[in-house]
Structure 1
Amino acid sequence: MSTILVTGATGKLGREVVYQLQQRQHAVRTYSRQAPSFQNVAVYQGDIRTGSSLLEATNGVDAIIHCASLRDETNATELQGIERLLEAAQGRPHIVYISIVGIDKTTYPYYQAKYRVEQVLQQSGVPYTILRTTQFHNFVLRIITEAEDPATGTITIPERMRFQTIDIADVAHALIEFAEQGPAGRAPDMGGPQILSLEEMVEIYKQIYHKQATTQYDPNGTLLSVFQSGINLVPERAVGRITWDTFLRNRA
């Protein structure tokens, strides 16, 4: 049994990591701004941007699974956060960092910040693992639900977008495996089990949730050209197990 700290433990991925760590009988610590409602977990409340309580949280841990991330506060959470974490860790525990496929091929600020974190880790001298994954199923589900207008009975989406979405449970499992096995450096990318267009994903969503909405296209849709370019896909690394269809059915 190892002692493992999870940052960002109140987020969707962080919560799943904590759950699976407990299933595997590890001693779990959490670090987040809001106190999570876990049982049998050592909770440390603080802000990774300032590093408050981080020294205490990292003291004596075997590994850190670093999930803390906020798109709205990219530089503070990502860049300041990794600096505070490295200062607190003092070169000792193995840091497992969750990153995103294709971040080195775009100028999108959030991706650039995560790419910079990768570089900081690689140059830090700390034992590390970086795991890049494709987008989570939850991400595309949010795109679809936000595009749905019950008043008009339409779902309005950008065209020519493709995803290889992956389930959070699969990602959490992989992060824990790396934490248990030791530093792997830049690990092989991890993609979901299938590549689908956003149109196909919407049709599956409508079928499973019995939606009668009409799909229409926004000619000015600029969600992210990343998802039209294909840099978010890794067909050679389709290792996730839970499909988009299964994810939706499990939530229905």
Structure 2
Amino acid sequence: MSTILVTGGTGGVGQLVVQFLIDHDHNVRVYTHQENPPVPEEIEVCRGDIRTGSGLKEATADIDAIVHCASNYQEEGFTTDIRGTQHLLQAALQHDLPHIVYISIVGIDKSPYPYYKAKLEVEHMIEHSGLPWTILRATQFHDLVLNLIKQGEKPEEKKIVIPAGMRFQSIDKLEVAHRLVDLVERGACGHVPAMGGPQVLTIEEMADIYMRVYQRECVIHPMPLKSPLYDAFRSGVNIVLDRAVGHITWETFLRNRLQNG
């Protein structure tokens, strides 16, 4: 039975990875800064701060693999991603060279968006770390698009304001989490083929489906809103037509979300 360390194990995809690893009879260790993290009772918890490296020496001891999900796109300087990965790799190299599996993003090598540049830097660190490694790039999760739409929803005005011109090939994080667990069990593979969702939709189309599923009576207001992130989603770097391997559509995701609360 393998022992797997999961960073970011309390986040959206990390929580799913933890559960699927348990389902596959692995021993799972979660590294987190939270005092009482929402993890299953059978999970071993190692507390620390990846930004400073505290607790990583203990967390990386006697493990077979690492699933590295810790990330923070809102953080100034992307310390969690860049410094955190440096600390993680340094700690892992002191032990028996565990296999590290990293979840990355489609298109990070084609965009000047600062967070993407940070993710690409992390990829390069892992590639040259001396550890056996696997890197999986995925398109945006359905959750990200849902958050974008909800942020622009103004119920009192019966409208949804969205940044115009963006396209997504979004994927369900459940499918990505399953793939990450599969990659842990396969051993080091280097760069593996990307994962994209089953459809390419404009943000306007996705907002229309959202209104229909949630029975909203709103008018969609596409606006020429500017930001480096929106520009990335307009450029098409987030689309991988030849890797439409996801099965859960945007509408199915919304209906599942609505049904499960």
TM-score over 0.5 (shorter chain): yes
State, as a whole percentage, how many aligned pairs show the same letter. 52
Cα displacement string for residues 22-45 of structure 1 (whole angstroms, at most 9, x for unaligned residues): 111111000111142222000011
| Among candidates 205, 227, 245, match of residue 239 of structure 1 | 245
Distance 1:225 1:44 in 2: 38
Equivalent in the alignment of 1:87? 90
Q: Are residue 180 (structure 1) and residue 185 (structure 2) matched? A: yes
Partner SS state of residue 216, structure 1: strand
Offset, 1:221:
4.2
Asked if the contact 1:6/1:29 (under 8 Å) is kept, the reply is yes
Amino acid at match of 2:21: L
Equivalent in the alignment of 2:81? 78
Distance 2:204 2:248 in 1: 19
Partner SS state of residue 88, structure 2: helix
Equivalent in the alignment of 1:36? 37
Asked if the contact 2:111/2:232 (under 8 Å) is kept, the reply is yes
Which runs of 5 or more residues in structure 1 are unaligned?
none
In the TM superposition, what are the counterparts of 1:106-125 in structure 2 within 5 Å? 106-125=111-130
Equivalent in the alignment of 1:196? 201
| Among candidates 215, 219, 222, match of residue 217 of structure 1 | 222
Which runs of 5 or more residues in structure 2 are unaligned?
none
Amino acid at match of 1:16: L
Amino acid at match of 1:166: I
* TM-score, L = length of structure 1: 0.97
Distance 1:114 1:151 in 2: 38
Equivalent in the alignment of 1:22? 22
Cα displacement string for residues 168-209 of structure 1 (whole angstroms, at most 9, x for unaligned residues): 110101111111110011111110111111111111100110
Q: CA RMSD in A?
A: 1.1
Partner SS state of residue 72, structure 1: coil
Asked if the contact 1:166/1:243 (under 8 Å) is kept, the reply is yes
Distance 2:247 2:64 in 1: 28
Cα displacement string for residues 105-144 of structure 1 (whole angstroms, at most 9, x for unaligned residues): 1111100000001111111121000100000000000000
* TM-score, L = length of structure 2: 0.94
Distance 2:13 2:66 in 1: 14
Equivalent in the alignment of 1:46? 48
Offset, 1:241:
1.6
Amino acid at match of 2:62: G
Partner SS state of residue 224, structure 1: helix
Distance 1:195 1:41 in 2: 38
Amino acid at match of 1:144: I
Distance 1:219 1:14 in 2: 34
Offset, 1:147:
0.5
| Among candidates 126, 136, 147, match of residue 142 of structure 1 | 147
